[in-house]
Amino acid sequence: MGAYILKRLLQLIPTMLIPSVMVFMLIFFSPGDPASLMLGPDATMEQIAQLRTQMGYDQPVAVQMARWFSNLLKGDLGESIFLNQPVVQAIGEHLGVTMALTIFAMVIASSIGVTLGVVSAVNRGKPLDQAAMIFSVFGVSIPEFWLALNLILFFSVYHQIFPIGGYVPFFEDPAGCIKTLFLPAVSLGITQAAFIARMVRSSVLEILDAEYVRTAMAKGLLYRKVVMKHVMKNAMVPTVTVVGMTFSVLLGGAIAIEMVFNLPGIGRLLMNAVLRRDYPLIQGIVLFIAAAYIVINLLVDLIYVYIDPRIEY
């Protein structure tokens, strides 16, 4: 097990380097530059050229890339051009929001998704199953931002139950934090719940047809007990995979939701960094997202061992 974990962690290095190089090249060859944006619409070409030189963006791509990688080896991701702070610090400051939102959304998504999936499977073909699947089709189809805007309209504008945006850190005001994150978490959670529900339903259905389930039923066990003890446990492996994938996606930044609800998270940070051509920040966030994917996938793989003892590494 220890060797497996070490191997997976070592895989982090090439996995993170490949997207970093690709993003670096993509950014370098795409038009637009931070100097023009920083100086504003009335800047002269001389002023833009001067700032580009000061920032080192007039250097050849190889020089810029070598400088970036050499700094990376020293653990320095550089400094954000627009935020005037180290990239690591910028990511750190925005990570709390994204983590809180992700956890909140995952709680909603998992509880609704798993419940619906199981209920739907054990009631296959019945009205309850159909209702649950209609919900999940809607959930998967509705764009998150559209749902978010409608939630804002109903709960914030018409009824003023929740604020329309902003963020209060959990450790400053737990109630305020939950209040500000409720609508964004629901917007994200509903769509992810629908996705999880569909996956859980098909896993449970597959297991319900398995011979060991038939045997358990034949032994005269209660249906509920069979579902809870035998079916659910075996259906957890694909479910954990889906939940893990969803978690990685959300941790990488729920861009649309963070923009709509004005949440200062990783998604919004990335979006703004792209719009402002804040190269060091884009690089840093891409590295962070790549690392988050790998670490979460590793954790998911390790959880498998506890759910299903037949799995060994």
Provide the binding-site residues for other proteins, judged by CB under 8 A. Answer: 30-33, 36-48, 51, 54-55, 81-85, 90, 93-94, 149, 152-153, 156-157, 160, 163-167, 259-262, 264, 268-269, 272, 275-277
Q: How far is the CB of 93 from other proteins (least distance, A)?
A: 7
Q: Given the complex with other proteins, which of 37 and 65 has the nearer CB atom?
A: 37
Q: How far is the CB of 30 from other proteins (least distance, A)?
A: 8
Q: How far is the CB of 307 from other proteins (least distance, A)?
A: 39
Q: Given the complex with other proteins, which of 132 and 285 has the nearer CB atom?
A: 285
Q: Given the complex with other proteins, which of 36 and 241 has the nearer CB atom?
A: 36
Q: How far is the CB of 65 from other proteins (least distance, A)?
A: 20
Q: Given the complex with other proteins, which of 31 and 60 has the nearer CB atom?
A: 31
In angstroms, the CA 295 to CA 63 distance is 31
Q: How far is the CB of 98 from other proteins (least distance, A)?
A: 12
Q: What angle do CA 251, 253, 254 make, to 5 degrees?
A: 115
Of residues 275, 257, 130, the one with CA closest to residue 192: 257
Q: Given the complex with other proteins, which of 42 and 312 has the nearer CB atom?
A: 42
